[in-house]
């Protein structure tokens, strides 16, 4: 049987996997015994805080946790989310219908279009952007319209640049702050404009806040839900993955508009059966951690940021230090594609990075480096670049 010819169009229409060539190069380099420094993947290297692990151990022994969990998540977890939102953002949420537990926010983001997008319907998202917004839209046979993120606009989408017929046609709009991959942070004024846009054009806003707790200096990122009217027009996705170093645990949540959440919940209840209750109990322990745990984590990333950005600037790169997220978005020297630059860094300095073009057309001209590697390795990475004569001009 020729399975390849039987593939559904939604699989065939997925963007070509830009990283396939790099992955091959990486595997070859590893086989050749090279010591690769991975600045590519956005996956925290720091361990999950001990109280969270201990809560999982205790909860794993409780037989009632071994059964199917409830679809929308344990009430106690949703209450913990509501408390956390009150404490962190001063936003009130009803645990009953304004909080939904997810198997990581990627799952919720990927499934959301199933609830709202009919074949041919339009979804707005940014380029560059987290690839799941587009993939989820494709899986619902929808169409994506990409709003460019550019340096001139501080990498925030220019809402006024979206043609009004496109805006009227669109059903959902994915936005993301602090942003992966650009590290841009939206402020309250921007979110107010988003609410206005949503009301004018009848578009559901899906704000991805996976990096809300990873910030530097003093300015803490705002939640979309802090802005008046947000709950009428949209939802916000959160993840415990980046905040508490829990990427492997698969737990996140969405909050906000109860009708949108209920529709997403209807999709999910037909496809998955929720999050292991012991993991949800560990999630409660995470959300109840004192602020010190997060402050310590931010200090670690901040030190790394200062080392990496300072070093890159000395090498002649025009890098803006990120205010939030653990990504550094670096313009590549002219006349070379982001993919070529990634290959150069790998072959000449054994550094894995991510080409900006992998996040969409407007990501071309940049590469992304992550801060999920310790200071010594970051210094080694800079040393290798210097030794290989790699500089920003």
Ligand X SMILES: *Cc1c(COP(=O)(O)O)cnc(C)c1O
Residues forming contacts to ligand X in the complex (CB under 6 A) are 42, 104-106, 130, 176, 180, 208, 210, 239, 241-242, 247, 252
The distance of closest approach from Cβ of residue 242 to ligand X in the complex, given in angstroms and rounded to an integer, is 6
- Nearer to ligand X by C-beta: 176 or 354? 176
Whose tokens are 């009004």? That residue is: 164
> What is the rounded distance in angstroms from the CA atom of residue 57 to the CA atom of residue 51?
10
- Nearer to ligand X by C-beta: 241 or 350? 241
**125: which residues sit within 8 A by CB, 6+ positions away?**
133, 134, 137, 144, 145, 146, 147, 173, 174
- Stretch (H or E) spanning 55: helix 50-60
The distance of closest approach from Cβ of residue 130 to ligand X in the complex, given in angstroms and rounded to an integer, is 4
The distance of closest approach from Cβ of residue 32 to ligand X in the complex, given in angstroms and rounded to an integer, is 31
- Nearer to ligand X by C-beta: 42 or 322? 42
Across 177-318, the runs of DSSP E, i.e. the strands, are 204-208, 234-239, 252-256
- Nearer to ligand X by C-beta: 97 or 247? 247
- Nearer to ligand X by C-beta: 102 or 233? 102
The distance of closest approach from Cβ of residue 390 to ligand X in the complex, given in angstroms and rounded to an integer, is 27
Beta bridge partner(s), residue 172:
123, 204
The sign one gets for the Cα dihedral 25, 31, 37, 43 is: positive
The distance of closest approach from Cβ of residue 132 to ligand X in the complex, given in angstroms and rounded to an integer, is 7
- Nearer to ligand X by C-beta: 154 or 313? 154
The distance of closest approach from Cβ of residue 42 to ligand X in the complex, given in angstroms and rounded to an integer, is 6
Kindly list the distances between the CA atom of residue 336 and the CA atoms of 6, 87, 155, 316, 361, in Å, as whole numbers in the listed order: 38, 47, 22, 16, 15
């Amino acid at each position: 049987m020729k399975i390849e010819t039987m593939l559904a169009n939604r699989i065939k229409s997925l963007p070509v996997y830009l990283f396939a060539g790099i992955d091959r190069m990486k595997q070859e380099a590893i086989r050749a015994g090279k010591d690769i420094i991975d600045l590519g993947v956005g996956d925290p290297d720091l361990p999950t805080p001990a109280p969270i692990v201990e809560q999982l151990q205790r909860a794993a022994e409780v037989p009632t946790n071994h059964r199917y969990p409830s679809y929308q998540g344990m009430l106690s977890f949703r209450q913990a989310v509501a408390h956390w939102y009150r404490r962190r953002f001063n936003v009130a949420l009803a645990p009953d219908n304004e909080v939904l537990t997810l198997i990581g926010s990627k799952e919720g983001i990927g499934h959301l279009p199933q609830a709202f997008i009919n074949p041919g319907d339009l979804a707005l998202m940014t380029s560059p952007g987290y690839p799941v917004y587009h993939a989820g839209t494709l899986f619902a046979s929808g169409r994506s319209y990409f709003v460019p993120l550019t340096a001139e606009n501080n990498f925030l989408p220019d809402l006024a640049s979206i043609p009004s017929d496109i805006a009227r046609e669109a059903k959902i709009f994915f936005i993301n702050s602090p942003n992966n991959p650009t590290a841009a942070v939206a402020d309250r004024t921007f979110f107010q404009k988003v609410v206005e846009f949503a009301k004018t054009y009848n578009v559901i806003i899906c704000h991805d806040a996976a990096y809300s707790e990873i910030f530097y200096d003093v300015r803490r990122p705002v939640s979309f839900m802090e802005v008046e009217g947000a709950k009428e027009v949209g939802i916000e996705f959160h993840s415990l993955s980046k905040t508490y170093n829990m990427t492997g645990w698969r737990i996140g949540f969405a909050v906000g508009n109860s009708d949108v959440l209920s529709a997403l919940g209807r999709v999910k209840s037909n496809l998955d059966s929720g999050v292991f209750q012991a993991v949800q109990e560990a999630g409660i322990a995470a959300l109840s951690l004192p602020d010190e745990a997060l402050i310590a984590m931010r200090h670690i990333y901040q030190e790394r940021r200062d080392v990496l950005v300072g070093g890159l600037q000395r090498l002649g790169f025009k890098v803006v230090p990120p205010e939030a997220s653990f990504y550094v978005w670096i313009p590549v020297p002219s006349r070379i594609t982001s993919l070529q630059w990634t290959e150069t860094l790998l072959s000449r300095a054994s550094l894995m990075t991510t080409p900006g073009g992998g996040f969409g057309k407007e990501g071309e001209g940049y590469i992304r480096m992550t801060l999920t590697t310790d200071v010594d390795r970051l210094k080694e990475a800079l040393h290798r670049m210097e030794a290989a004569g790699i500089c920003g001009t």
